[in-house]
C-alpha cells in the first residue's frame, strides 16, 4: 500500500501507536510530520525515522486552536500539502466516577475529542480548497478505541471521548464525502504500549487481559499502523465513515475465555 510522495500529519506521534503509524507511513513513502507536546520525545522520534525516510517534528497542543493553525501552516510551508491526517493524540485520567474532578474531565475531552475536531477542521479546509482547484482529495484517520463501545468504570472521560470520536468520524465523513475526502477510525483493543507494559510484569493483570481476548495475545502498535496504512491508501478508496476494530476478537465476545496456564 504505497503512500509515495504523500504528506501525512500524525498527532501524538512521539511514542506508542502514533509513532508506529508515523514509522509505517515513512516506510510506505510518505513525508511525515510528527505533532506532539513532548519536544524531546518528538525530536528523538524524528531522528529515528530519518534513517527510513523524510520526517519532521512540530510542537502542537491539539486542544489549542492557534497551535493547530500553526501546525497546518508549518506543514504546508515545509511540504506544500497535507494528504493524510491521523488524529492520534490522547490522554487518560483514571478516577472513580464519584471522585472525578471536573478539570480532569475537561482536559481529557479537550485533547482527545476537541483536538481531533480542531485538527480535522483545519486540515479539511485545506483539502477542500485543493479539491476545488483540481487536486486529489485527502483522508483523515481517527484513533478511537474499543472503549468507544464498551466501557471501563474508572476511565469515564476517556470512554466518553472515544464514543464521541466515533460520532465525529461518521459526521465528518458525511460532511466531506461530496469532496471525495474520506474519514475513518481505528478502534484498538489491548495494545503493547508504555501504558500497558506493566501488565506483562503482573501475572494477574495479564491473565485478565488474556481472558477477554480470544486471540490470547496483546496486539502490537505495528498492527494498528497497518490498519492506518490501509485506510490512508488508495486501496480504501471507497471506505468512509467506518470504524475498524483491531482488538483480537474482544468486542464480539460475550464471555471470558479460558486462559491456559503457563
Q: Write down the number of H helices and E strands in the chain.
A: 9, 7
Residues 6+ apart with CB under 8 A from 76: 82, 126
- Beta-bridge partners for 55: 32
Q: What gap in Å lies between CA 240 and CA 259, rounded to an integer?
A: 37
Active-site residue, 158 included: yes
Q: Decide the pairing of beta strands 31-36 and 139-143.
A: unpaired
Q: What gap in Å lies between CA 33 and CA 9, rounded to an integer?
A: 5
- Beta-bridge partners for 9: 33, 85
Any idea of the CA torsion for 163, 67, 133, 143, to the nearest 10 degrees? -30
| Given the residues 158, 179, 245, 255, the one annotated as active site | 158
- Beta-bridge partners for 105: none
Q: Which three cell numbers stand for residue 21?
A: 503509524
- Which secondary-structure segment (H or E) carries 66? helix 65-79
3-state helix, strand, coil in the chain (%, to 5): 50, 15, 35
Contacts within 8 Å (CB) and 24+ apart, 203-209: 207/259
CA atoms within 13 A on the CB side of 51: 4
Q: Specify the 3-state DSSP secondary structure of 194.
A: coil
Q: Which three cell numbers stand for residue 138?
A: 485527502
Catalytic residues: 158
Amino acid at each position: 500500500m504505497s503512500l509515495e510522495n504523500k504528506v501525512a500529519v500524525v498527532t501524538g506521534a512521539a511514542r506508542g501507536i502514533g509513532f508506529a503509524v508515523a514509522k509505517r507511513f515513512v516506510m510506505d513513502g510518505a513525508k511525515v510530520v510528527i505533532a506532539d507536546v513532548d519536544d524531546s520525545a518528538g525530536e528523538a522520534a524524528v531522528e529515528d525515522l530519518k534513517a527510513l525516510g523524510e520526517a519532521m517534528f512540530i510542537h502542537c497542543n491539539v486542544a489549542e486552536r492557534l497551535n493547530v493553525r500553526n501546525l497546518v501552516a508549518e506543514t504546508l510551508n515545509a511540504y506544500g500539502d497535507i494528504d493524510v491526517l491521523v488524529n492520534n493524540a490522547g490522554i487518560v485520567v483514571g478516577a472513580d466516577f464519584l471522585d472525578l474532578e471536573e478539570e480532569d474531565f475537561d482536559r481529557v475531552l479537550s485533547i482527545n475529542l476537541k483536538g481531533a475536531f480542531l485538527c480535522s477542521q483545519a486540515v479539511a479546509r485545506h483539502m477542500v480548497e485543493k479539491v476545488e482547484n483540481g487536486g486529489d482529495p485527502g483522508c483523515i484517520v481517527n484513533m478511537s478505541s474499543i472503549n468507544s463501545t464498551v466501557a471501563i468504570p474508572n476511565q469515564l472521560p476517556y470512554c466518553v471521548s472515544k464514543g464521541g470520536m466515533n460520532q465525529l468520524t461518521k459526521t465528518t465523513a458525511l460532511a466531506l464525502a461530496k469532496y471525495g475526502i474520506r474519514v475513518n477510525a481505528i478502534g484498538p483493543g489491548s495494545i503493547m504500549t508504555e501504558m500497558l507494559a506493566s501488565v506483562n510484569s503482573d501475572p494477574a493483570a495479564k491473565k485478565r487481559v488474556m481472558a477477554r481476548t480470544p486471540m490470547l495475545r496483546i496486539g502490537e502498535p505495528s498492527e494498528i499502523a497497518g490498519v492506518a496504512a490501509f485506510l490512508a491508501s488508495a486501496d480504501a478508496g471507497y471506505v468512509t465513515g467506518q470504524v475498524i476494530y483491531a482488538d483480537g476478537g474482544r468486542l464480539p465476545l460475550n464471555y471470558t475465555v479460558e486462559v491456559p496456564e503457563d
